[in-house]
Amino acid sequence: MSTRFWIGEPASQHDEESERLAVLLAEVLNVPADVRAELELIPGLDMKEVPWPINEFKARIFWSTYVLDLRGSPTLKGLVEHMATRFPPRMVEFRHFLQLRSVAGSSTWYEPPSPLEAQFVGSGAAQPMINRRRLRDELCKLHEEGYRTLNITGASESGKSFSYQLVQALAVEEELPLVLVDIAEWGTEQFGARDLVDRITAQLKVGLDTSHLATVPDPNTRARLLMFALRDVFPASRKTHWIMIDGLDRANVESDARAFVEKLLQSIDVNGQPANVRLVVTGFKGKLPPLTCRDSIAAITRTDVRELFAQVAISQLGQPATAAELDDWTDTVWAAYQPPEVTLTELGASIYGLVRDRIRTRIEQAV
């Protein structure tokens, strides 16, 4: 059987590796003229298909959009091979993406009963969802009961950003359009309302020139005008569009971006515009419409981890694990979890590794 590589896999959403590639490309090419000149050197690349921004050029956003556009096409491989040659100091980093093995199909070890009940999500089903019963219930309200907006709050390292993985699992299963704005992509760079609108419209693939609004002095007025402009160009669809804006509590978020989100929440939830949209935000501390769903994440506890193991044992083994097994599994991963030195991401990796090792071994032995 021939080896399948990541570089040749089509994808409708970003994964960790595609974002990593976008950051690398932005580091080596961040001036529009240089980007254009370099792309023109790549055989087979159609310059008419390059997603040049209508408004201000921001390298990380440009490359994030373009990498996703090219996923699964030979052009992406050609682009990466070209960059590895043109930028020798970064050659090893670029070649990583050419040698990276496929993760498609690796999630077959775990089959969730339904997307919103998934205990493991993301690439290779490697990210455990710990202590997220409330999130599942609130997303169910948006998906099945007609609610339109959800705000997720919690302390740093509580897992707010992991919520996207569950939303993505639902969107993939139901073939629903999904737009993600991850403010962490900006690093410490200031993130304003125009940045937010530009990121949304880029993923929706609709043109919207917001340059004339840059000089509007009042941030609330600017936010309101941007909200109206987005509503006017939002594509009509029978399918529900899901939008997730992650990281509104970050220090680099400007006041007009928060004002924009407040007005968009109101417009979607109360006025139903844009129509057929579900909006999920994390870390928003402004005024919420009365019917906005809420998920306030508590700190992860040992009991939460033990409960996850108990649920996985039933779903994967078809029978409960013993109390001794649950205690052993939980103690193994919990003993090493010492935030902030050991992060929630590292705890998740430990849980995933143990489940793949011990529970999967039990399944194979029972066959």
9 touches 102 (CB < 8 A): yes
217's CB contacts (< 8 A; 6+ apart) are: none
312 touches 359 (CB < 8 A): yes
CB atoms within 10 A of CB 224: 19
CA dist., res. 190 & res. 253, Å (int): 6
Is the domain spanning 132-297 CATH 3.40.50.300? The answer is yes
Q: Tell me which residue of 38, 37, 35 sits closest to 51, measured CA to CA.
A: 35
232's CB contacts (< 8 A; 6+ apart) are: none
Per-residue tens of pLDDT for the chain, all 367 residues: 345 788 888 776 777 788 889 999 999 999 999 999 999 999 889 998 898 988 889 898 899 889 988 988 889 999 999 999 999 999 999 999 998 876 554 445 777 778 898 888 877 788 899 989 999 999 999 999 999 999 999 887 788 888 888 998 898 888 899 999 999 888 888 999 999 999 999 889 898 999 899 889 999 999 999 999 999 999 988 899 999 999 999 999 999 999 999 999 999 999 999 999 999 999 999 999 999 999 999 888 999 999 999 988 887 767 788 999 999 999 999 998 887 778 888 999 899 888 887 766 665 665 4
Q: What is the pLDDT of residues 297-308, one digit of tens each?
A: 988 899 999 999
Q: Which residue has the tokens 């599994």?
A: 329
Q: Which amino acid is at 293?
A: C
131 touches 304 (CB < 8 A): yes
Per-domain residue ranges of the chain: 6-99, 132-297, 300-366
Give, rounded to a whole angstrom, the gap between the first and last alpha carbons of the chain. Answer: 25
181 touches 199 (CB < 8 A): yes
HSE, side-chain direction, 13 A CA sphere, residue 276: 11
User: Please, which residues bridge with residue 151 across strands?
Assistant: 281, 294
pTM of structure: 0.80
Q: What is the pLDDT of residues 41-59, one digit of tens each?
A: 998 899 988 989 888 898 9
pLDDT value of residue 205: 86
